[in-house]
Structure 1
Amino acid sequence: MDQIDNYKIVEKIGEGGMGEVYKGVDVMLEREVAIKLLRPELSSREDIVNRFRSEAVALGRLNHSNIAVVYNFGKLPAGQFYMALEFVHGDTLDAVIKRSGSLPWQKAVKYALGILEGLDHAHGFNIVHRDIKPANIVVTNHDTVKILDFGIARILETARLTRVGHLVGTLEYVSPEQIQGKDTDAKSDIYSVGVVLYEMLTGHIPFEKETEYDLIKSQIEEKPKAPHTLCGNIPPKLEKLVLKALEKNPDKRFASAREFCDALIAVSNECADSTRAAPARLPSNKLWGFCREYPGPVFLLALLAFGLIYFLWMQLGAADFAKPPDVATVSASQPPAALAPLAGNDGAAGGTPDQDPNKKPDTGERLPPPPIVPIQPVAESPLDGARLPAPAKIGAVSAAEDNKARVKPPAPAKPKKERRIADDDPGIGRAADNFFN
């Protein structure tokens, strides 16, 4: 097939349960389009044709920046129906999540807000999408989102068109009431947005099961894991909003897409303000998540590290730190010339013997330094520089009174016996001359 009416076919870009999707060009307006072509075997079924037409009518009513615009709806001569829509350049959100694993919470909230804004516009026309999932969301080259594929959307006034006896939607993302075949409304889309936001934040859907039976049972009965157990950088208040959107009871969810949107904006602003005001950065997300997931090994490693540091400190630093320095204390009241050496030879003037009989044996105990003994200065003779004899003995040190060094006064020198000189001694004159000279 080369052309459909005014649209030249470029290439086939997708295929779904209801038909095929092609990339084309409007030869009259020279713009790119996406063409959805209903399968031939389905074009003869009135219920399918009516649903396909309802999508075109629904999209024709909508005009929003987060919803792909419909350009045309028609029927080929062979009986196949087609729809020409806006061609959106970008990647599906599904591809973005698979490539990134998980998104920063700020970006996840931004995309969720775009989805909710588009759904709020659609809900205003009583249009429920019923198949919100990452594969139906395109992240444009301008980092905005657009909702695609309203192929199973319905207008609430014609709800009877949807009762075809089988599940409509994708099991991983549909609401519990939709799985059970109950009436659906805007709150069903809110649940699906909650699943998409959960996946953007964690990289996982709430329920990952191997069989459809287990998946259906989980969607109806089980509570999802808290998102922070899968990714540790999710603000707690944001997590509460996600879990509220995933409530099993529709009445416990947000009343509308607008309410959900406003709550996300408020929490996002609050979290951003608290992040800017934080004085210090928190540990990295991966490290913090590892610590919370494996507290036992982390505690053991911390304990071993502390023990190693303590052991090294005891071996290398404790002994030297506890040893006091060797300090000799001297009395500031004694002049430097009168201080005896702390240790000297027995023959040194004023010195003390090397071996003190009163000294205790060395047992490692620090003993006070020996008392300081003043040195008796040598007297000069006024006659010809002759040196007078020093006192016979320096007074002994008494340590009996208050542990103070006391020196007994030296014994007075014994006067010499003078020799009497006669007046007529001829040497007296020479002695007198020497005295006065």
Structure 2
Amino acid sequence: MNQTGVRWTSEQVLALAPDATSQKAGSRLGTTGQWSGTGRSEAGAIWGLCKGSGSKPYQTVVDITGPAYKCSCPSRKFPCKHALGLLLLWVTDEEAVRASAEPDWAEQWLSGRRSRAEQGSGETGAGEVADPEAARRRAARRAERITSGALELEQRLTDLLRGGLATAERAGYGLWEETAARMVDAQAPGLASRVRELGAIPGSGPGWPARLLEECSMLHLLNRAWLEIERLPEPLAVTVRTKVGLPSPAAGEPVRDHWSVLSQYDRAEAKITTRRIWVYGRETQQMALLLSFGAAGRAPQLSLPVGTVIDAELAPHLGAGQLRADLSGQFGIPIPMGSPPPGGPVASAVEAYGRALSDDPWLDSWPVTLTDVIPVPDGNGWQLADAEGGSALPIAPSAISRPGLWRLAALSGGGPITVFGECGHRGVTPLAAWSGSAFETVVLI
């Protein structure tokens, strides 16, 4: 048991890693032979000096209440392998990281974090715009460019359908990338991302023309929504602005709760990596999605241990059917999650996804928790079937080849389990699971 009376597991530490390479490297550094000058404080910090290739050891410190990390190594990953190794040493060998006074090099960074936490959200004017009129003019110019891009994209979609979908396969990916680049020039990264997704469909397997037509229809709907945005209800208009790529700052009233961290995974898109973290409020009984971004090869900085509960304040984003929120404050150290979030049968999950689509037609997926389901093979794929019979939900094709599917099957062993995942029009992508006999979170992605 560590100094706060909270037991983390090695799996929770490794789930913080930005990639598999970092997991392996961090595991190798999670032994006493690599470290000197280790220590911990009752305030929730651990630190140590790790041997490196140079003459000076790397200074590594972790604020567990974040968690947040600081290391003198040149790595651009968060957390780096040294931070992961220190955390692993902390959770596996209590005697190796004993209570002591914070060294100057660690105290300087920690005191800076504490000072910012005390001042940050309470400062008046922190989010004020220096020149509102100049900001309004910039926003108007960008809206004009997006409108021009949407009109051009409409013409290209019209040309595609007029020439026949078969021409999309012959044209190759270059045409789509060129169109996406035009949307980037129009400052509409959301449209550019959807165009790139279209380019991956032609020739992708049986039925690709139907899939391409579906996605073209949704892109056409988004274009028309932008061009007619003044006629939309404000919540839907906010959603449309977000979908085309305009920034969406948190604007709702902050909500404090004990949030269960259900899953965390990264998506690499062009020159940016997006980290998606799903949390569930135990008192509010609400789901929230935390997003963190890393550009130019940097891993996103926000990282939370899956399978724990954090006492935190989240600031929600506005928009129709939006679950996104920002972590605006955290209180105390994450503690183990005692049980999975409440859920229901397959039919309830499909119904929830349908309701969400009525608010956001461009919704990619919706968080669902399925209880008492069994993973079973279904022809060339898999599905999650109600243990008592009735309905079944296919597992999304993109999740079939992942190692998590076999961890899911092993956890079930033919018996009912609880599964949390994202439900979309291609099926459900399992992200975490729990067995009926133990409530330890099994990460599936």
TM-score by length of 2: 0.21
Looking at secondary structure, tell me which structure has more strand per residue: 2
Name which structure has the greater RCO, CA cutoff 8 Å, separation 6+. Answer: 2
Structure number, greater radius of gyration: 1
